[in-house]
Amino acid sequence: MNTNKINILGLNINRLNKGQILDKINEFLKSREAHYIVTPNPEIILRALDDEELFYIINQANLSIPDGIGIKFASFFLGEKINRVTGSDLTLDILKLAENKSLKVAILNLQDGLSSNEEIYKCVKNKYSKINLEIFNEKEGNYTMTHISKFKPDILFVATGFPYQEKFIFKNYKKIPNLKLAIGVGGSFDFITKKIKRAPKIMRVLGLEWLWRLSRQPKRIKRIFRAVIVFPYKFIIWRFFMPFFYRPNVVCLLYREIEGKYNIFLVERGDEENHWQLPQGGRDGESLLKAGGRELIEEIGSDKFKFVVIIKNIHKYKFNKKIGKYKTNRHLGYKGQKQGLFIAKFLGKDEDIKINFYDHRAWKWINWVDLDKIVHPHRQEAMKKAKKYFEKEIINKRI
């Protein structure tokens, strides 16, 4: 177990104090490799629960720093202590490091944002006069990446708001020559330019910035409601109620027939090498039929299949948290899973299949008789049952 991390709603959050965080950042800046930092708050965590790509990106970050009093309270109910470090404060610390180390800094600013490039440049230079700084606007196509790459920054701040900044960083940070560190900072530079006034220090210490922001920007009420009401509700359900229930799950058995031979589609989990399984996912309140069709489209990137049959309640099991990396799964809060089977026939070509990088690393077709032998040992009991249903409903009926 990594004692430097805590898991909240399936997301791994670092438990480092500010000094330890800055030590890590110094290590990153001395490295020859690129790193990225995320600063999840309750809003970002809620978004990640509905956005698999963002969820994956947060859990792959080199540092995940809690920025939100709600996360601190959540850690208390997990019996852990977590240190809150705001993205705005961390931005100032990194700028100071960049000036002291004579590092090149790039800022990707939101097009038509509150603070213009000129305003950010002037305010940052007034505070850190020796810093080597360039600011770029968010634009379509490869324009932005070409110019940032030409500048070759050591540090990249992306201030375009979540989840866009996190996705931009993840897709591009390894492509930028010389980059050591990338971080999404939202509206942090608006505080530096004083376009937005920070809450008084006492309110920050007490974790009442949300109340300050609501008083200054009433239009933020929906966002604040999610952070202050929805997040605690979701956490309480996850922490205190979900462990008593099985998660409704759909397993998607996709097959094809070529010259009388039947093959079944398998995927390899992105977070664990050689962990092969059938595509599957939560039903999220949907019927088995609807969830199966949706999940299969998401998993293979194609709708070129024909539904054949569904079978309810083929398997139920408890989660074994010691197997693989299930501790980072969004559904970990449940006691286990109860699975139904969605069988469909593939009508497309192999080139139509486009798996998600954040779910799987590879895919393949196998002979149907080998299904329970090739999948991960954790899956074999369920696959023996799935194979029997496949033989009964497809092979024997020659569908």
- Strands (DSSP E) along the chain, which ranges? 5-8, 11-14, 35-38, 63-64, 104-109, 132-137, 155-159, 181-184, 246-258, 261-269, 276-277, 280-282, 305-318, 336-346, 360-367
Question: What's the pLDDT tens digit per position in 283-315?
Answer: 988 999 999 999 999 999 999 999 999 999 999
What percent of the chain is predicted at pLDDT more than 70? Answer: 95
**Whether residue 202 is found in the same domain as residue 253:** no
Of the candidates 230, 183, 224, 219, the one whose C-alpha atom is nearest the C-alpha of residue 86 is: 183
Query: Residue 396: what pLDDT?
Result: 93
Question: Mean pLDDT over residues 321-327, rounded?
Answer: 45
For the residues of 14-55, what is the DSSP string, one character each?
E---HHHHHHHHHHHHHSSS-EEEE---HHHHHHHHH-HHHH
Of 214-218, 297-301, 319-323, the range with the lowest mean pLDDT is 319-323
**Whether residue 179 is found in the same domain as residue 149:** yes
What CATH number is attached to the domain comprising 316?
3.90.79.10
Backbone angles phi, psi at 128, to 5 degrees: -130, 80
C-alpha distances in angstroms, 108 versus 165, 188, 296, 343?
9, 12, 36, 46
**Whether residue 224 is found in the same domain as residue 299:** no
**Whether residue 220 is found in the same domain as residue 250:** no
**Whether residue 195 is found in the same domain as residue 223:** yes
Answer for the pair 173, 146: CB distance below 8 angstroms, yes or no.
no
Query: Residue 324: what pLDDT?
Result: 40
Q: What number of other Cβ atoms are within 10 A of residue 326's Cβ?
A: 16
**Whether residue 223 is found in the same domain as residue 343:** no
**Whether residue 222 is found in the same domain as residue 268:** no
Which domain covers residue 280, as residue numbers? 246-395
Angle subtended at Cα 176 by Cα 359 and Cα 99, rounded to the nearest 5 degrees = 120
Q: What number of other Cβ atoms are within 10 A of residue 26's Cβ?
A: 12
Tally of domains within the chain? 2
Query: Residue 326: what pLDDT?
Result: 38
**Whether residue 68 is found in the same domain as residue 194:** yes
Distance of CA 39 to the CA centre of its chain: 12
**Whether residue 258 is found in the same domain as residue 371:** yes
For the residues of 324-382, what is the DSSP string, one character each?
TTGGG-TTTTSSEEEEEEEEEEE-S-GGG----TTTEEEEEEEEGGGHHHHS-GGGHHH
